[in-house]
């Protein structure tokens, strides 16, 4: 098994790559895993979605600079944020 990002070999019991810090995903994408991930991202105390939303309106330069510098763990992924925004916009237009 090797890291998908930096291609270094990983042991079976590693949860994160020691070189780049990427999370090692061992579970296949099932409905249960999807709901667990949504619960962890949206309902957790360390809520990245609302933190990203609040910081984009109060201090957007902090979010932009963190993405440019490569510190992306503090905020939600750009593609995920865009997908959530597009979905909410679609629901609003539909209603």
The helices-and-strands tally (H runs, E runs) of the chain is 4, 0
Query: Does any domain span residue 85?
Result: yes
Q: How far apart are CA 91 and CA 3, in angstroms?
A: 37
Query: Does any domain span residue 56?
Result: yes
**Count of the separate structural domains present in the chain:** 1
Query: Does any domain span residue 59?
Result: yes
Query: Does any domain span residue 89?
Result: yes
Name the pLDDT band for 93 (thresholds 50, 70, 90): very high
Residue 85 lies in domain: 45-94
Average pLDDT, the chain: 80
Query: Does any domain span residue 9?
Result: no
Query: Does any domain span residue 31?
Result: no
Radius of gyration of the chain (CA): 16
Considering the entire predicted model, what is its pTM?
0.45
Task: Dump pLDDT digits (tens) for 21-63.
Answer: 777 877 677 888 788 877 776 666 567 778 888 888 898 888 8
């Amino acid at each position: 098994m090797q890291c998908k990002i930096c291609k270094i070999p990983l042991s079976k019991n590693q949860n994160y790559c020691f070189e780049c810090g990427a999370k090692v995903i061992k579970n296949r994408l099932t409905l249960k895993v999807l709901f667990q991930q949504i619960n962890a991202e949206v309902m957790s105390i360390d809520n990245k979605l609302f933190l990203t939303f609040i910081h984009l309106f109060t201090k957007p330069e902090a979010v932009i600079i963190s993405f440019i510098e490569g510190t992306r763990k503090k905020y939600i992924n750009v593609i995920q944020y865009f997908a959530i925004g597009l979905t909410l916009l679609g629901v609003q237009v539909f209603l």
